[in-house]
Structure formats: C-alpha cells, structure tokens
C-alpha cells in the first residue's frame, strides 16, 4: 500500500467521525486539525493543506446533507471530495500500442520505468520494444538490454551512434506497426538547454503519443517545480512518480505534481519490474480512505439524494433520536435491502455483512408486518413510541391484524436499535446480534 501512514491517519479521522456521538464544532475542529497534521506529515504543501481544511470546515458548516443521509456521512464525503480535488485530473491510458518518450534527470528511475512499461504492455498482450537513446552513458544501454531480456520484449540500440534521434529513426524502421515503442532518453543532473534540445530532436523523430516525465517521489514538493519546467520546455502528457514505496514525502510530490498540469499516470512502487501501478486519483483516494466502504457510502448518497421521505432518519438513528416515524421511513427506503441495521454497515471500517438467504426472506416478511403495525399507530405514537403501553398495544394489534406479541417485538426492536445506534458503529457483535434478532423475531439475549 502506497503512502501507508497518510492513509492510516486519514482512516483514523474517518473512524473518529463514525464513532462520535454527533458532529459539532468541537469534532470539526479536531477533524480539521488531524487532517492538517496528516497532510503535513506526508509533506503536502502547507498552504495547500490549510486551504483544503478550510474548505472542509466551510462546507461542513454551510452545506446541508441530502435527505436521509447523516451529518457524519456527509462530512466523510466532503473530506473525500476535497482530498480528491488536490490530486489532479484523471486520464485514461488504454492498451493500444503507442510510442512513448521517457524524459527525466539522472537517477530518477527512467530506465527502470522503461522496463516496467514494457512489462505492462507485454502482460496486456501488446508487443513492446525498448529503444536505448541514452547516448551519453554506455552502461545505461546495457541496463536497458538486460531489462528487455527479463521482460522478453524487443530491444534496439546502436552503440556507435551518437545522435539519439538517429537511433530512434532506425528503431522506427525496424519494428512493425502495433508495437509499443518505449524510448529511454538521456538524463542530466539538471534541466539545461542541451538536455531540452536533445529531447526536442528525439521527439521530432519519434512523434510520440506520450511524453512522460519520470520523477522521484523523494523530491517531495520540489517535484512540482521540476514537472512544471519540463512541461513548459517539451510538453508532457503525463508523469511517472517513482520510488513512492520508499518515500515519506509521497503526499508532497503527488499534490505538487498534480498542479503542474501534467497528470500523474503511473506510480513506481518498488525496484521490481512488476512494481508499477496506474495512478487513478479517484480510486487512489478511495483506497487511501479505506476503499470499498467509501464507494458504497457514495453510491448510497446518490440514492438518498432523491429520497425525501427518508429524510434525516439515518441522522436520527445515529444521534439516538430515532422515532418510530423514522423507523417507518427507513423500512420504506430500505424495504428491498433488509433490516434497518444494514444501514450501519455502510459506515467505513465496518464492511458489509451478508445475511443468509432464508434469513433475508424472513426479514422481508417481518418488515411487512412491521409496516402494517406502524400504519396502525397515531401520529403521537409515531413521534413518541413510549406512549405505547397496555391497551394501546392491543388496539394497534387489532388494527393491523397482527398479534400483540409482534407489536411488542417491534417496540423492543425499536428500543434496542435506538439505544444501540451509536454503540453499534464500533461494536460488530452488537450489530450482528441486532440483525439476528430482527430476522428471527426474538428479543435480544
């Protein structure tokens, strides 16, 4: 996992939100502080981190969650969106054969990346060829040849030739169309006129589909300036950020390069040829924040936005103000999904739990009985379930065509759900117990 400690800190923040009794000014202040600290520790630019948390605070204060979504989930979504926004644009990178020019300074991982990209294409069934155009260092040519043998791809070099662009022309004449051609160009210790001129000549000869800058993530924030300079000089289509595995400054490099205008396309995550991964900002943030749960939460948000009748029910459930009326709204909105407590499984860190098939049917049947019982209650009873005692129970049972025992079961379930609601977010056992109880219709042990 890349950027382990940043991910860990941010997941800690989300957990804190999920477990809090309510989202208030104090929690918000704490969350903002935690996020700032996490970002700064990952070397994200101070101003960038401050701006981000300022937006989080402003949005959390001014914007309203969609109906049926809790303030907690809403805050989590805001954090997700704001972190996503500093990672730049998403770019597709398909498997069609293409011509790739790699640029970069010495030691950034250019040659290694050439080998990794060749492996990437070979694995996808696209023939690839490595072209050695680093004419200044003979050792670089040998290194590339070794890599081509490991990958099992084509290779071209011309050790007597001093003009990189000439080597490229020869290579183009040699390999058939539909070959991905990856050119490892020469590096320098700094960006100078000579380097840029050579890159331009090679680009002229190659007519690349992609010009990728290879950058070491250990540069931290200064990777942004380097990306900017190369982008202006030769025009980049993307950046490969290498050695993200060994760098505590990954966050700084990622966020700084993102603002340079050239999208980050790949991350180098180790020395081995397989250690290259596509960088997709949205997926990256999902993973950083705890992946699957976040995705589910976001999808759920989309649904809830349209569901006016589920208004605030989840929020009430979490804050302990869950009325029978809320419970009815939830049964209506979650009717096809299962028990009320299923909603809790969308809280990050809890994962979702499968209910056995038979149990699900029973749950559905019970939901229908509950719905009938709730329909026989008066508005006062729906708002204050504690009014329902003695004769009222019999009246509701008669009205709904259910047994009094079932009415008591509903009240018991409501009471348990209400009381347990926030405990549940951090208590798996209790949640399972509730689900079982709901499906089987038995009071909790």
Residues interacting with ligand GDP, by CB under 6 A? 104, 106-112, 187, 214, 242-243, 245-246, 268-271, 275
The phi-psi region of residue 434 (left if phi > 0; otherwise alpha if psi is between -120 and 50; otherwise beta) is: alpha
**Rounded CA gap, 291 and 285, in Å?**
8
**Rounded CA gap, 301 and 287, in Å?**
18
CB of 426 to Mg ion, least distance (A): 50
Q: How many of the chain's residues bind Mg ion (CB under 5 A)?
A: 3
Which option in Mg ion, ligand GDP, none does residue 345 bind, with CB closer than 5 to 8 A by kind?
A: none
**Rounded CA gap, 435 and 413, in Å?**
10
CB of 248 to ligand GDP, least distance (A): 13
**Rounded CA gap, 91 and 264, in Å?**
8
CB of 138 to ligand GDP, least distance (A): 13
CB of 223 to ligand GDP, least distance (A): 14
Closest to ligand GDP by CB, 60 vs 234, is 234
140 touches Mg ion (CB under 5 A): yes
* Token pair in block for residue 422: 């926030």
CB of 19 to Mg ion, least distance (A): 49
Which option in Mg ion, ligand GDP, none does residue 7 bind, with CB closer than 5 to 8 A by kind?
A: none
Name 17's Cβ contacts closer than 8 Å, sequence gap at least 6.
23, 27, 31, 72, 75, 76
Which option in ligand GDP, Mg ion, none does residue 349 bind, with CB closer than 5 to 8 A by kind?
A: none
111 touches Mg ion (CB under 5 A): yes
Closest to ligand GDP by CB, 226 vs 242, is 242
| 352-411 positions binding Mg ion, by CB under 5 A | none
Closest to ligand GDP by CB, 271 vs 308, is 271
What distance lies between CA 69 and its chain's CA centroid? 20
Closest to Mg ion by CB, 107 vs 423, is 107
Instruction: List helix spans (H) across 276-389.
Output: 281-288, 292-305, 313-319, 324-334, 357-375, 379-383
Look at residues 206, 200, 187 and name the one whose alpha carbon lies nearest to residue 136.
Answer: 187
Closest to ligand GDP by CB, 249 vs 431, is 249
CB atoms within 10 A of CB 270: 15
Closest to ligand GDP by CB, 275 vs 415, is 275
95-103, 134-142, 151-159, 199-207 -> range binding Mg ion (CB under 5 A):
134-142
Which option in ligand GDP, Mg ion, none does residue 77 bind, with CB closer than 5 to 8 A by kind?
A: none
Are 258 and 40 in contact, with CB atoms under 8 Å apart?
A: no
Which option in Mg ion, ligand GDP, none does residue 303 bind, with CB closer than 5 to 8 A by kind?
A: none
Which option in ligand GDP, Mg ion, none does residue 106 bind, with CB closer than 5 to 8 A by kind?
A: ligand GDP
* DSSP states along 262-275: SPEEEEE-SSSTT-
What distance lies between CA 405 and its chain's CA centroid? 46
What distance lies between CA 81 and its chain's CA centroid? 10
CB atoms within 10 A of CB 197: 11
Closest to ligand GDP by CB, 225 vs 436, is 225
Tokens 């499968």 belong to residue: 354
Closest to ligand GDP by CB, 55 vs 225, is 225
Task: Give the binding site for Mg ion (CB under 5 A).
Answer: 110-111, 140
């Amino acid at each position: 996992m890349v950027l382990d400690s940043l991910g860990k800190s941010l997941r800690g923040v989300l957990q804190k939100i999920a477990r809090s009794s309510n989202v208030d000014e104090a929690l918000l202040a704490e969350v903002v502080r935690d996020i700032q600290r996490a970002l700064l520790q990952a070397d994200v630019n101070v101003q960038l981190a401050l701006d981000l948390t300022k937006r989080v605070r402003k949005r959390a204060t001014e914007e309203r969650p969609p109906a049926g979504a809790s303030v907690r989930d809403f805050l989590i979504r805001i954090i997700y969106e704001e972190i996503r926004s500093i990672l730049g644009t998403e770019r597709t990178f398909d498997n069609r054969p293409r011509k790739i020019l790699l640029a970069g300074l010495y030691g950034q991982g250019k040659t290694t990346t050439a080998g990794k990209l060749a492996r990437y294409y070979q694995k996808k069934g696209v023939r690839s060829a490595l072209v050695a155009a680093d004419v200044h260092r003979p050792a670089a040519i040998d290194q590339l040849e070794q890599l081509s043998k490991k990958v099992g791809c084509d290779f071209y070099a011309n050790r007597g030739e001093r003009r990189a662009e000439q080597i490229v022309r020869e290579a183009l004449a040699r390999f058939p169309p539909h070959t991905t051609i990856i050119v490892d160009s020469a590096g320098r210790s700094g960006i100078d006129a000579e380097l840029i001129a050579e890159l331009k000549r090679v680009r002229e000869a190659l007519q690349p589909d992609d010009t990728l800058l290879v950058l070491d993530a250990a540069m931290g924030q200064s990777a942004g300036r380097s990306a900017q300079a190369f982008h202006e000089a030769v025009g980049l289509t993307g950046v490969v950020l290498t050695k993200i595995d060994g760098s505590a400054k990954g966050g700084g490099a990622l966020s700084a390069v993102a603002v340079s205008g050239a999208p980050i396309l790949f991350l180098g995550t180790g020395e081995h040829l397989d250690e290259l991964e596509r960088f997709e900002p949205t997926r990256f943030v999902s993973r950083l924040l705890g992946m699957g749960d976040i995705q589910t939460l976001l999808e759920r948000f989309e649904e809830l936005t349209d569901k006016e009748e589920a208004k605030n029910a989840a929020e009430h459930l979490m804050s302990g103000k869950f009325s029978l009326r809320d419970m009815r709204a939830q049964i209506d909105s979650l009717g096809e999904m299962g028990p009320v407590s299923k909603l809790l499984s969308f809280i990050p860190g809890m994962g979702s739990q499968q209910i056995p098939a038979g149990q699900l049917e029973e749950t559905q049947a019970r939901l229908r009985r509950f719905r009938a019982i709730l329909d026989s209650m008066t508005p006062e009873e729906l708002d204050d379930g504690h009014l329902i005692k003695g004769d009222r129970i019999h009246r509701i049972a008669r009205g709904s065509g259910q047994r009094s025992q079932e009415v008591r079961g509903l009240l018991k379930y409501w009471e348990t759900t209400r009381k347990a609601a926030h405990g549940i977010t951090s208590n798996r056992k209790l949640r399972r117990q509730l689900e079982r109880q709901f499906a089987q219709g038995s009071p909790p042990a």
